[in-house]
Every structure is written in structure tokens, then in C-alpha cells.
Amino acid sequence: MRHALVTAGTKGLGRKVTEKLLQSGCSVTIHYRSDGEAAASLDRDLSAYEGRYDFVQGDLLREEDLKNMTLHTLEHWGKIDILVLNAGPYIFERKKLMDYTEDEWHAMISGNLTSAFHLLKGIVPVMREHGFGRIITYGFQGAEHAPGWLYRSAFAAAKAGLVSLTKSISIEEAEYGITANMICPGEITGSMKESSIADARALPDSKTPVGRSGTGEDIARTVLFLADNNSDMITGTVIEVTGGVDVLHKHRYSNE
């Protein structure tokens, strides 16, 4: 049985990823930062998988917490085969770089990039020992090309760095049976983060070229594909799951 660690796995996109991994036969350590109610709710909903999952709390901005997350998982499960970096701190207020505080800047870089470094430092050696690993990070539409993203400069800078980190480690660790890939979700908002594809198809969306909203299930299905034993030929790849919508440029010529 493969074991996965999913950051921010109790709600939103992470919840669907957690559910799909369990359904596929994996065991899962589910990370959350502070929302104990969300963890308790998911725990109740996952009763059919009792004994195949546990929870770990931690703040991605704290190096000590990141190390404890890894140690907790290894002590309980003995290995980490799949690492899904689903968590990604984000500032919803749209503002220019000059309006960011130092704390906001450091939170975006630490939460989205430096946290990956600390988790990989603890987990990759274990993957090497087992001769297998699947590392899956998240970016944003167009991140592979390091584009400018109006009002999202700190987040975009961190994720563009994460693209390079993901690709670099995919080359460095290939000989150990470890792959590293990035998923770039499109615009998936509100309840759609925890919804199924069937739910989205029942609610047509004219703003998305494919005619429906993206969902958490779309992302979870992509995670399962990349995590599969036979997906070893796919590494260092950035996969966009957008339905054709242009998230990156929608505010560039608008004051909305």
C-alpha cells in the first residue's frame, strides 16, 4: 500500500485529493494548519477508511512544524511514497508589489517555496531508500513561463520558483525512481473546490470554454494519474487543468 502526505488536505482541493487517494487504495496522512473543525468533519466522513489515514497539524511557515509533519508521518507509517504539496498561502486582496508588507512577502515565499525545500529535505531520502517517489506540486496557469501576474507578484514569484525546483529535483532524483511534476489549476472557486465533475456538468458555466467549472475532482484525478506506478515516464512536467479559461490576464485591462 502506497502512503501519501497531503498538505492542506482537509478542505478545498485537498479534501478531494485525500478522498481520491483513499479510494484508490492508498493510506494518507492529512495535514491541516488550524481548522480543527474541518479535520473533525472529514474524519467523520472518512469512517469507511478507518485505519488508513491520520491527521497532522502544522504551520507551513514554521520550519519546526514542517520537520514534525515529516517525523510524525514516518513514525506512524514508516514511509512517504507520495507527497502532494496542495497547500499554497495566497493573499486574495489584489495589490501591487509596492503595497505588500515584508511579512506578506515572506509569507508567500516561505509558504509556497521554502516549505517545499524543508519537506523535500526530510522526505526525498526516504523515497530514495524505497526506490519510489511521487512529488506533486501546484502552480498557476502559465507558471512554467514565469509570466507577470498583475496584483499577484509575491505569489507568482514563489510559484515560478517552485516550477524550477520541481523540474530540477525531477532530474536529480530520477535515478531513484522518483518523479516530480506540477499541476496548475484554473479558476476553481467556492463549493467547486470540493465538488465532483458531475456536479459541475449540472451547472453549465459560459465563462469557461469547455462549458463547465473546474472542480476538486479534476485536480484529484490528475494527482492520481501522476502518482500511478506506471507514470514514471512523466516527470519534470507542468500540467495545466484550466478548461481553457484565461485566469492570468482577466484583470490586466480592467479595473474590476
CA distance 11 to 20: 13
Instruction: Note the pLDDT of residue 253.
Output: 56
Number of C-beta neighbours around residue 55 at 10 A: 17
Instruction: Note the pLDDT of residue 12.
Output: 97
Confidence band for 249, pLDDT divided at 50, 70 and 90:
confident
pLDDT tens digits for 189-238?
Answer: 999 999 999 999 999 888 899 999 999 999 999 999 999 999 999 999 99
CATH code for the structural domain at 3-241: 3.40.50.720
First-residue to last-residue Cα distance in the chain: 49
Helix/strand/coil for 124: helix
CA distance 83 to 77: 14
Give percent of the chain above pLDDT 70.
97
Q: What is the CA radius of gyration of the chain?
A: 18
Q: Is residue 14 within 8 Å of residue 6, measured between CB atoms?
A: yes
Name the nearest CA neighbour of 86 among 110, 112, 109. Answer: 112
Domain boundaries, the chain: 3-241
How crowded is the C-beta side of 85, counted as CA atoms within 13 Å? 31
